[in-house]
Amino acid sequence: MKSKRNPMVLVAAMALLGGCGDDGGGSAPAPAQSAAPAEAAAAAPVSARSADPGYEVKVIDHARDEVEYGLRRSLGGVEAMLEDAKANGWDTAELEQQKARLEKELQELLSS
């Protein structure tokens, strides 16, 4: 059974490749001159391109996003610890100081 299967797979693969292959009967390739203007336009300097692309371009500072994410995550953790400390009747002065410091850092980051 195995010896009959291998030639069948080979025949099926050859038929698939033969049917999907380029037979050379298609349209002729475009002349090289028609591609030249497109390449020239693509290689044009930025100043030669349209100043208004039709949409707003935003530059995103991912390093700032990472800092903001870290501050928000830390702030969330401190708030959770504050809730636990209040529920257990523990002193929360240090946690409140940390929360205030993190909120201040976050405000400074967002306002800059």
Within a domain: residue 44? no
For residue 80, give its domain range: 62-111
pLDDT digits (tens, 9 = 90+) for 79-107: 999 999 999 999 999 999 999 999 999 99
Within a domain: residue 16? no
pLDDT of residue 15: 77
Within a domain: residue 95? yes
Q: How many domains does the chain have?
A: 1
Q: Quote the pTM value.
A: 0.47
Rounded percentage of the chain residues whose pLDDT exceeds 90: 42
Within a domain: residue 66? yes
Taking a C-beta distance cutoff of 8 angstroms, is the pair 69, 106 a contact? no
Within a domain: residue 38? no
pLDDT digits (tens, 9 = 90+) for 34-60: 545 555 555 555 555 556 667 888 888
Within a domain: residue 88? yes
Q: How far is CA 31 from CA 22, 36, 105, in A?
A: 19, 9, 61
Rounded CA separation 12/10 (Å)? 5
The enclosing H or E element of 30 equals: none
Listing DSSP states for 40-70 in one string gives HHHTS-GGGS-S--SS------HHHHHHHHH
